[in-house]
Every structure is written in structure tokens, then in C-alpha cells.
Amino acid sequence: MGGQKRPKYCVFCSDKLEKIVYTDENFIAFHDRKPDAELHLLVIPRTHYGTVKEMTSKELPMVTQMYELGQRLLEERGYTGDMARLGFHRPPFNSIHHLHLHCLGLPFRSRTAAIPFTESPGLGFLPATRLIASLGAAARTDDNAAAIDLDTKPIDPETDLATAILRKKAAPNKLMIDEAVTDDNSVAVISQNTLDKLGLFRGDTVLVKGKKRKDTVLIVIPDEDCEDNKIRLNR
């Protein structure tokens, strides 16, 4: 990563970081010294970058990687959906002039602690997905150093192509494996509703792809006691 001009002293560029939970050649993640939520991590680039207002479209890959790392760290600790919040503070609300992503596992420690992490147009907290969408919009100008306007109308991260990689892929036919109630290794049991949805009939054969490229042919059997989102197999 290229980086930006480093000031004479930056605590995030020093070797004084503590409670580190992740590190690689590009990023470091660690616990915030004064946590505002049940879990409060910071993700920073090893190379010095300033604040979100100094970001240009060429920083899109880096910011996206920061978001993906932060999201993964929260998910690994059980914080997903509404229990996870990721974002940056705009100047002058940032405490350190080195780009850092707040990764919050909710709930907040107090109502007061939640205020700095509430989105408000033109002020304070900027959700990571909104920054990524804005950088993506700037990137589409074909200018690798295009500056971004954080005060423009927010881009919907659910529909914008710049954040498509961040969205969970739809998997309507995905079934969760449940333990079989019989010892028959030749059958796969699903509900009648799922059978109809998949266009299958009782006694049809299906190919189940397992780990290590192991494929197994099974006979489909309906059972109304099986939940619609599950499939019963002998593992």
C-alpha cells in the first residue's frame, strides 16, 4: 500500500499498540483502550493514512479490505447483523490522525457511549459501507485520484455496484444439515415443501457434494417432521 505523508509522531505508527488481536503485512487490529461497546476493536493500515476526508478512489481496495477484516473479526466473536457496527469518524471528531475503523460489537456500554457512533449527515460517524460506496462512485470517474464528497446524498450499499462484493450472496436452495433419525446411509430426508420447491419427487436421486471432493448419491425421502430449511443425513 502506498500510504500518505506521515507526521513527526503517530501513536498508531509506533510500537506502543497493545491488546492486538490480529496482524498481517497490511493491517493491525486491536482492542480500543476506552471501549464504548461490549466489544470495541480498531482496524488500522500499517502504512500511514490520514482521515476519511483524505481518501481518494485509489484507496477503495484498502478500505474494502479493512471492512472485510473488521466484519470477520466481529463475526468470529459472535457479533453479526444489528449487533455489529463498523465505521469511521470524520474530522474533527477523530481522536488520532491515522485512519482507523471502529468495529463495535453491541450493545453499547451506555446511551452516552452510543452518541459518537450514530450516523448524522455531514457530522461525526460515517458507516464503512457508505465510505466504500462513495469511493466506488469516485472510482467510476476513471480518475484514480478522484476526491470524494462525503456530504453528497448517500449511496445505497445494497444496490450500488461498488459494494456488491460486501453483500451476502443469496442462497435460496441452501439447506442446513441435521442428524438423521435412522441408520440408513442411502437416503436424504427433507420436508415435502422443500421437495416441491426443488421440483423433486419421492425416490429421486440427488448428488451430495461433501468435503475433499467426495460425492455421494442419495435417495430423497420426504418427511413432514423435517423443517423446510434442513436436510437430514447420516454424516
**Which residues are designated catalytic?**
102
Q: Hey, what's the cell of 204?
A: 429421486
> What are the CA-CA distances from residue 156 to residues 136, 143, 160, 171 (Å)?
12, 22, 6, 22
Q: Is 40 helix (H, G, I), strand (E, B) or coil?
A: strand
Cβ atoms within 10 Å of 18's Cβ, excluding its own? 7
> What are the CA-CA distances from residue 100 to residues 85, 95, 168 (Å)?
14, 10, 24
Sign of the CA dihedral with 133 first, then 138, 144, and 150 last: negative
Q: Is 61 helix (H, G, I), strand (E, B) or coil?
A: helix
Largest CA distance in the chain: 73
CA 66 to chain centre: 9
Residues 6+ apart with CB under 8 A from 230: 175, 176, 177, 178, 190, 191
Cα 84 from Cα 62, distance rounded (Å): 20
Cα 66 from Cα 98, distance rounded (Å): 13
